[in-house]
Amino acid sequence: MTTTEWFTDTALILIVFRQLREGRLGPRTYLLPLGIVSFVAYKYLHTVPTGGNDLVLIGALVGVGVVLGVSGGVFTRIRTAGEHVLIKAGVISAVLWVIGMGARLGFQQWVEHGGADDVARFSIDHQITGEQAWVAALLLMALTEVVTRLATIFVRSRMLTRRGPVEAAAKPVLVTDRVG
């Protein structure tokens, strides 16, 4: 693995830890993970192979990405404080994120340090055409996890903010003026 690969994989794993502290939901919440995963996809995703059972592999790992992403978004706490939406990744959300992003890093390490023959045998047995199919499947899994987690958080935050003013308007508000 190159230094760039180590950096981007580690950044994707660690990004959830900054959300273990509650913070404001804003553009940075979306742009940082999307920027990292977009860079990785641009750098390493050259083609999406369609031969053999490549699309089955890709579809299966994209499905895993969807499950991890949506689940991670569901297990992220979202609340309002005044005009701001605050989010905090829960333990389950963090664990799911680390599993998803860490699996990719772990797979790369395993292949480079003794697992290549096993992957080659699996690929032959299951008609996966080669390395690019694995690269595409793992990158698209990560991209899907990021996008579906952020989309889930976005939808949940919109539901919360749309509901907020209606609930606030329904509650009586006591206003007192103090003079002096």
The gap from C-alpha 178 to its chain's centroid, in whole angstroms, comes to 50
CA distances in angstroms from 164 to 27, 143, 168, 169, listed in the order given: 21, 31, 6, 9
pLDDT above 70: percentage of residues in the chain: 89
Residue 8 has pLDDT above 80, yes or no: no
Q: What mean pLDDT, rounded, does the chain reach?
A: 84
Token pair 């830890």 in the structure block, residue: 17
| Displacement of CA 88 from its chain's centroid (Å) | 14
Mean pLDDT, to the nearest integer, of 108-131? 92
Cross-strand bridge partners of residue 89:
76
pLDDT at 164: 57
Tokens 């992957």 -> residue: 119
Residue 176: which pLDDT band, with cuts at 50, 70 and 90?
very low
* Cα(150)–Cα(85) distance, integer angstroms: 14
Residue 179's pLDDT band (boundaries 50, 70, 90)? very low
The answer to whether residue 104 scores a pLDDT higher than 50 is yes
- With the CA atoms of 111, 116, 118 and 124 taken in that order, what torsion angle do they form, in degrees rounded to the nearest 10? 120
Output the DSSP codes for 37-82: HHHHHHHH------STTHHHHHHHHHHHHHHHHHHHHHTEEEEEET
Name beta bridge partners: 87. Answer: 23, 78
pLDDT category, 103, cuts 50, 70, 90?
confident
Token pair 């793992």: residue = 138
* Between 175 and 99, the higher pLDDT residue: 99
* pLDDT for 117: 93
* Banded pLDDT at 20 (limits 50, 70, 90): confident
Are the beta carbons of 175 and 95 closer than 8 angstroms? no
% of the chain surpassing 90 pLDDT: 46
The whole-model pTM stands at 0.81
pLDDT tens for each residue of 34-51: 888 888 888 888 889 999
